[in-house]
Structures are given as structure tokens and as C-alpha cells.
Structure 1
Amino acid sequence: MRKWKIILATFLIAGVSSAQEVDYEEYDLDNGLHVILHQDNTAPVVITSIMYHVGGKDRTEGLTGFAHLFEHLLFDGSENIATGTWDEIVSSHGGQLNANTSQDRTYYYELFPSNNLELGLWMESERLLHPIISQEALDREIEVVKEERRLRYDNRPYGQLLPVLGETLFSNHPYKDPNIGYMPDLESATLQDVVAYNEKYYVPNNAVLIVAGDLDISKTKKLVADYFGPIPKGAEITRNNPKEAPITQEIRKKAYDPNIQIPAAMVAYRTPGFTERDARILDMISTYLSDGRSSKLYKKLVDDQKQALQIGAFNIGQEDYGMYLIFGLPVGETPLQTLVTEIEEEVEALRMGLISEKDYQKLQNKFENDFVNSNSTIAGIAGSLATNYMLYGDTSLINREIEIFRSITREEIRDVAIKYLKPTQRAVIEYLPGDKMDN
């Protein structure tokens, strides 16, 4: 068994060869489940994964955090999988598993030696067809999620940073609430609420199944039909999330964190959803500003002027709206406003002119390398296929996305900075040590 785990870990890291085009086949079952198959017989491993189009933003007021709760709850067991044995079944067959939830989707997967393909399909079909959602399981998993919230958010240094960012940039859209939810909402969740949530979102017509690796296409199609074909289709899901009014004047805010000693400066902007071309340009801008020691903000504030311990620019992609954050930790007594001023100087330079040809070529090389690496493992390919279909509406991006980045011009980089990264459209947040009541 140890041998298989070593093999699986090796192919998670080094799996398939690098830059070749990813071949795949996709189709729909009668119940609406979208299926994508990718055959690569170079290693005896296979991944079975499902992405559901449900995330933190899919909630009602007072019932936040349900998608993340389900990430835990749907590992609890099923009518045919005893409570608490999901991990044991996977590991005893030489496999690995995981799941993760964002504001927009939830993703589950199992990676197995390829002779356990049928087991992986059966387990994912059990999650859809026969989940056991009992009061006992709900109580147990709510406590697990509450403890996770304490560790990752409430008691972790800078753990409130993203929740503060969301509540600052959004007044109406569900992105204002943290993906993990609020403690009172978790504590008040009823079994009836949770069962209704499962029946609404965890249905085949709200999911995509990916099977990738060492498989036979025709045999896999039959297994998929056998295990997933009988699952009933769910009701059509409609979303009508509130729109946000544009930010037209700078927002100033203070937030407090009792778990930190060094304050932070946060400069944030609301940006377009990640399917927009402009969102990819913002990815390039964040790389230009802070990716690596030679990037503009790092070299200026950390190396040359020694005003920051740490600096980073992040384009946080989401389906409806994105969040663009520039985050800095000051050195010594450097005022937070000094970091804000220096950050704006570099952003203004982007708005006022074109980046150099040398910097532009560095960006192109970096994104080319990232694209190759993203498709260099079976696990990476499966995740890309699921994301491109479910969230971008175009599976072929797995082979074409680099063409979009190659086509981005220096002029577009300038124009997007002008469009979204203006002082009148930003939020400046002082993230300070201590408790708000003490200040």
C-alpha cells in the first residue's frame, strides 16, 4: 500500500508531460450531468472528480456557510458507506481524496490506482444519490466547521483580512459574507434547512463529472452511465444576486485584529468577474506589481526603500465580481499612509504610461510557464477541465487560455488600470492590532 501512495504522490507532482494539448471528450447524460473524459495511459492512475456549481454566495440571509458545511457533510457517509469510513475506504485502496469550496463552486475528488476507477465512480455517485444527512451528522460537522473557523479566521493572525475585504467592497451581494459563514448562522442551522439545500444544489444538472488518467473511454462511458444515469434530475436553479452600485469615491476604514502585532495597509478595488478579459489583464498587473523580488512594488518598498516587510498585489477572481487587493506590512515606524502613497505612485505609473517591452516579455514568459505547469499533472488537468466548463462556460480554454494572455497588449494593461484602479474607486483599510472596543 505504501508503494501505491508513493506512486500517486509522484504523479500528482510530475504526472503528465508538459506542453502537449489536452485531449478530452464531453457529453451530457439525460439527467443533465455533464461528463468530461480525458485519457492518458502514461501512468497507472486515475482521478474521479465532481464540481458542483454551489459556493458561499449561494445562501439566504441568516443561513451563510452552507456550501462549506456540505464540503464536510458529504464525506460523512451514505446509505452504502458507513459513517466515518470514507477516508478509510479510499486510503485502503491506495488512493487520496480532498475537497474545497469557494464562493462560487465546490470540488470533490479521489485519486486512485487505475484499477480502482469503478470504486471512485461508485463513491461519487453515492455522494449524489444516497447521502445520509442526519441530525447527528449535522451536529458533528457543524462543530468541525466552527472549530475550523476559530483556527483559520478568528484566532489566526490576519485571519479576518478577507472577511473585512468582502464586507468593505460589497454592501448587497453575498460576497460580503465569508465563505465559511458566521457562527450564529451555523449554530441555528436546522436539519430541514440543510436537507433543502442538498436537494436544491447537489443534483446532476448542477454538476460536472471529470474522469481523467489511465482509462478506456468506452468502458468508462458504460460505468458512468451505470452509476450516474439513474440519478434523478433536480429542479432548474436560478440565481438573481443583487448588483452593486459602482464605487465612485474613496472608502476609508479601520479594522482590528487582536492576533497581530504589526499593522497592515490594504488598498482594494472591486473588479469584474473572472470570465471577463479585463480580469486576466488584472492578473498580469498583479504579477507585474508584486510577483518576485524584481517586481515593482517588492523592489521599491522592500529592497530599495526598506519601508515594507512584505508587499503583495492579488487579483482575487470570483464569478460575479472580483476583488483586487494590494497588501503591505510596514517596517518599524513607517506610517501605513506612506505605504498607501507609495502603492498609488506605482499604480498611477500604470495608468499614465506603458510598461517596458522588457517587463512585458517577462510577464508573457511567466504566464506561459504557469499555463504549462497547470496542465502538467492529472490532478491539474481534471481541475482545469471542471473549472473551465463550470465557471467559464468553455472547456476548450484548457488548451486556449494562453492565447488570451499572449494577445493582451501593453496598451490594454494601461487601459484596465485606468478603468478599475483609480483612487476614487478604491477602499483604503487600516488593519490594526487590538480589539475595536479598546481603540
Structure 2
Amino acid sequence: MKKRILFALAISSLCLSASAQKVQFTEFDLDNGLHVILHQDKTAPVVAVSVMYHVGSKDEETQRTGFAHFFEHLLFEGSDNIKKGEFMKLVSSNGGQNNANTSQDRTFYYELFPSNQLELGLWLESERMLHPVINESGVKTQNEVVKEEKRLRIDNSPYGKFTEKIFGHLFDGHPYRWQPIGSMEHLDAAKLSEFIAFFKKYYVPNNAVLTIAGDLDIEKTKALVKSYFAEVPKGAPIVRQEFKLPEITKEIIDTAYDANIQIPAIFAAYRVPGMKSRESKVLGMISSILSEGGSSRLSTKMVDQKKTALQVAAFNYSLEDYGAYITLALPNKNTPLNDLLKDIDEEVLRLQTDLISESDYKKLQNKFENNYVSANSKMLGVAENLADGYTFHDKDTNDINKELEVIRSITREEIRDVAKKYLNKNQRVVLYYLPKK
């Protein structure tokens, strides 16, 4: 039995080492500016087709928020060659899955198909880019869909507005201050011509990355890509406004009331560097030390030992221009919120003062290496990570292969110094989130 276990561990280690090998890819540009990335992996007969547009809520006008998220829905309405409501039916009837999501910085569409349906995936995405139907009927339909989503996910969801309150303070003067779902009043007031203009500006090949990953033939796929996307007209160059926010130099305290909760919560949030920064990855490691897993410092102290918290968390919300480092706790047995904040602050101070142990450091690195392997073990994950590298890391698609090296190079001293630099009381927003009676 022991030999079997040792053998299994050896095989597992071998698989992990093999999986952590560099992600191979081929990339090229079409004449219209569309950047194309191909990753071949024939281990399973599946293929992911994805398009990442470099447009999010950050690119909206202050009186027309919610446009990018709205287009996430609107571009499923159909095209000149796809009838209304048929897009998703074409995917599912051919054994595929599809979806899309929008952030402050980008919009990501994808299909996951059996590899013999690669051409269908390319045709669908080219139709979305080349000639989608944008009319009054589609706008009205999706307007109601977005309103229902907002009611479900934000207005009637417990703690659904905490990011809205926190980001309003952290990013005052920056488009990150509003959430991607935007304002329903702005969408109601918008004219059809405004939606069409937004599409023509941002949903163009020179503002997009087409990534295909899976069981594919590189040369045949290149030919298919050219046949479906070469005719899409190039858009005008996009000039984005750069925002430089003044530093936060005092503690900002706010209170929010929510009729959907019975248990209060406390949040402490800090403005931190964006995703391109090495420090952003260090902050991700700090989150893991503080709250990832049952043996993390905050969970052990506040949930297991003192039993003052029902839930406690810390995470780095990483975006292109900046990030938000957020800690939160829900009290157990009516523990005062300030007591929870004090316990969190004590653990942050420990990180700012003392180096983590060598054994904890080794476990941390192993965990992040495993996370890296897991994130790139599925075709859709590889496709998105390749597109992220090109879109957000100075057109460096190979960033996907540098991440592991960066993780391994982060030192215990860096973890201490980054915590000391950014997680200070005079640089944060404290939000008391209370039940509304």
C-alpha cells in the first residue's frame, strides 16, 4: 500500500512538473489590426474560441455609464446572418457552451466547442464583430434584461452594493468609481445612435484579441481566421485618457444601510497598484496568508480561536490602472465591528513587522505554483490568460510564461515591505455595512 502511495505521489509530481512547462503559442496580426493568438493542445478534442475587447466601464462617459456591460448582452441579439435569439441555440445545438463577461477594463466573449466545430466558433465571433444587429427592439429587450440582472445581483442581493460604496471613495475622479453594470437611468436616456457610436468606436478588430486554444491545426486555423475576419474594417485609433489620482492620506469612514441583510459587516479597503505591477502579485500573496483557506491567519484567529467572526476575508481586486485591496468581516455573537477591525489590523501589522516563516513561505510559493498550473490546465483558461497578457501587459503575450518566474522570485522581505507601504490606516476607506430597519 505504501509503495502505491509513493508511486501515486511520484506520478502526481511528474504531472505537475509537466503541466508547468511553458505555454506555447503562435501570434500574428491581420491588416485590420486584429491580433490573433493560437495555442495548440491535442490532449482533448475541444477548442476554445474567444475575443477580448479592450473596453470596459472605464471607457464610458460619466452620463452614459453601463454601456460596456450592456453590449455584453446586446451582441448576442444576432447579426445580418443570425436571427434574433438564434446565437445561443447555434452553440448549444452543436455541442458547445458560450458566455461573456465585462469588467472595468475589458469585455470577454467565448465559445467552447468540440474541435470539429472550430469554424462555427470563428463564424459566430466574426458575425458579432462585422455586422451585429443594433436596433431599437434589441436595445429595449436587453435593457430589461440588464435591469433584472441589477435587481437580482445588486439591489436585492445581500451586501450587493459594498463595491459601489468603496470604489466611490477609493477612485474619486476616476471611472472606476462606478460599477460595470452602470446606471439604469443613463441606459434609459441613451439614444440608439449613441449605442451604435459606442460599438463603432470600441468593438473593432484593432481593439481586440482573438485567441483560439485547443485541438487545432495551426496553418489551417490561420487560413480560417483570415477568411472570416480579414474583411472586418479597421476602426479609428483609440486614445484613452490617463488618470493620475492624488494619494489618500487619511482614513475615510462611511456607513451603508442594506435592507437585504440581518448581519452587519465591516470593510477596510486600500488603493493599490494595478495588475501590471509586481506589487500586485505580492498583494495577492498577502491575501493568501491572511485569509485563503481554513489555516490562514485571520480565519484561524477570528473564526476558529476567538470565534468572533462568522466570516473573514482579504483579497486584491486587481485592475488595469489601479487595484483595491479589501478586507472584510462578519461578526459572530454580536461582536462589535470595531473589534473585528482591530483583529484584522493586528494581523496586518504582524505582516508589516515580521517576516513570515521559511516554512510558510515555501507553502505559499507551492500554493501559487499550483494555482498557476490549475489556471492553465483548461483551454478556456489558457485562452483568457494569453489574451490578458497581450491586452494588459504592453502587448506581451509571453507574460503568461513569466508569471511563474515572478512568483518564485518574490521574497519574504517584499511581502513585509509591500504590506508596510500600502496597508496603512491613513490610506484606507472603512465601511460599516449595516442592516436597514
Give the TM-score, by structure 2 length. 0.94
Where 1:255 maps in the other structure, the secondary structure is strand
Distance 1:355 1:46 in 2: 42
Contact 1:96-1:110 at 8 Å conserved across structures: yes
The number of residue pairs the alignment matches comes to 420
Match of 2:427 among 422, 425, 428: 425
- Equivalent residue, structure 2, for 1:180: 181
Match of 1:86 in 2: 87
Partner residue, 1:153: 154
CA distance in structure 1 between the partners assigned to 2:254 and 2:188 by the alignment: 29
Q: Is the 8 A contact 1:128 1:202 kept in 2?
A: yes
Where does the alignment leave 5 or more consecutive residues of structure 1 unmatched?
1-13
Say which SS state the counterpart of residue 196 (structure 1) adopts.
helix
1:141 and 2:142 correspond:
yes
Moved more, 344-353 or 195-204: 344-353
Q: Provide closer, same or farther for how the CA distance between residues 122 and 212 of structure 1 changes in structure 2, counting only shifts above 3 A.
A: same
Moved >3 Å (runs of 4+): none
CA shift at 1:192, angstroms? Answer: 1.0
Give yes or no for contact 1:57–1:174 (8 Å, CA) kept in 2: yes
What is the rounded CA distance, in whole Å, between the counterparts of 2:169 and 2:304 in structure 1? Answer: 31
Q: Which letter maps to 1:411? A: E
Residues 385-400 of structure 1: matches in 2 within 5 Å?
A: 385-393=386-394, 394-400=396-402
Residue 289 of structure 1 corresponds to 290
Superposed, 1:189-338 pairs within 5 Å as 189-338=190-339
Identity of aligned residues (%): 58
C-alpha distance in 1 between matches for 2:435 and 2:59: 32
Alpha-carbon RMSD: 1.2
Secondary structure of the residue aligned to 1:90 is helix
Which residue in the other structure is 2:113 paired with?
112
Give the conservation status (yes or no) of the 8 Å contact 1:29–1:225: yes
Q: What is residue 171 of structure 1 aligned with on the other side? A: 172
Give how far 1:182 is off.
Answer: 1.3
1:55 and 2:56 correspond: yes
Aligned-partner Cα distance in 2 for 1:64–1:139:
17
Contact 1:174–1:241 (CA under 8 A) maintained in structure 2: no
- Tell me the distance in 2 between the aligned counterparts of 1:85 and 1:423: 53
Letter in 1 for 2:49: T
Match of 2:406 in 1: 404
- The 5 Å alignment of 1:357-368 reads 357-368=358-369
| More moved, 129-138 vs 113-122 | 113-122
Determine the C-alpha separation between the residues in 1 that align with 2:353 and 2:23: 40
Which is further off, 114-123 or 388-397?
A: 388-397
Deviation at 1:255, TM superposition (A): 0.9
| Comparing 384-393 and 419-428, the one that deviates more | 384-393
Q: CA deviation at 1:111?
A: 1.0
Is 400-409 or 349-358 further displaced after alignment? 349-358
**Alignment correspondent of 2:381:** 380
Q: Matched residue of 2:58: which SS?
A: coil
Q: Distance in 2 between matches of 1:356 and 1:168?
A: 35
Query: By how many angstroms is 1:87 displaced?
Result: 0.6
Between 1:396-405 and 1:202-211, the stretch displaced more is 396-405
Distance 1:257 1:169 in 2: 21
| Alpha-carbon displacement from aligned partner over 1:223-264 (angstroms, at most 9, x marks no partner) | 111111111110111111432211001111111111000000
Distance 1:130 1:246 in 2: 44
For normalisation by structure 1, the TM-score amounts to 0.94
SS for the counterpart of 2:316 is: strand
Q: Report if the CA contact (8 A) 1:19-1:376 is conserved.
A: no
- 2:38 is paired with a residue whose SS is strand
Q: CA deviation at 1:293?
A: 1.0
Mean alpha-carbon deviation: is it higher for 386-395 or for 271-280?
Answer: 386-395
Give the aligned residue type for 1:426. Answer: R
Q: Residue 77 of structure 1 aligns with which residue?
A: 78
2 CA distance for matches of 1:19 and 1:364?
Answer: 14
The DSSP-based 3-state class of the residue aligned with 1:429 is strand
Three-state SS of the structure 2 residue aligned to 1:57 is: helix
Q: Which amino acid aligns with 1:242?
A: F
Q: How far is the alpha carbon of 1:321 from its aligned partner?
A: 0.7
Shift of 1:171: 1.1
CA distance in 1, matches of 2:119, 2:255: 53
1:90/1:97 contact within 8 Å kept: yes
- How many Å apart are 1:168 and its aligned residue? 2.1
Q: Deviations over 1:266-294 (max 9, x none)?
A: 01100011100000000000000000111
Give the secondary-structure state (helix, strand or coil) at the position aligned to 2:416.
helix
What is the letter of the counterpart of residue 53 of structure 2?
Y
Which letter does structure 1 place at the counterpart of 2:352? R
1:372-414 CA-partner distances (Å, limit 9, x unpaired): 1011111111111111111223211222201101100011111
Q: Quote how far apart the aligned CAs of 1:21 are.
A: 2.4
Structure 2 spans left out of the alignment, 5+ residues: 1-14
* Counterparts of 2:150 and 2:189, CA distance in 1: 16
Using the alignment, how far apart are the partners of 2:242 and 2:196 within structure 1?
A: 22
Partner of 2:418: 416
Q: Which residue of 1 aligns with 2:102?
A: 101
Matches within 5 A, 1:31-42: 31-42=32-43
How far did 1:18 drift? 3.0
Partners of 1:302 and 1:24 in 2: CA distance: 45
Alignment partners' CA distance in 2, 1:259 and 1:63: 28
- Counterpart residue number, 1:8: none
Contact 1:173 1:241 in 2 (8 A): no
Alignment match, 1:11: none
- Measured against aligned partners, the alpha-carbon deviations of 1:404-429 in whole angstroms (never above 9, x if no partner) come to 01100011111101110011101111
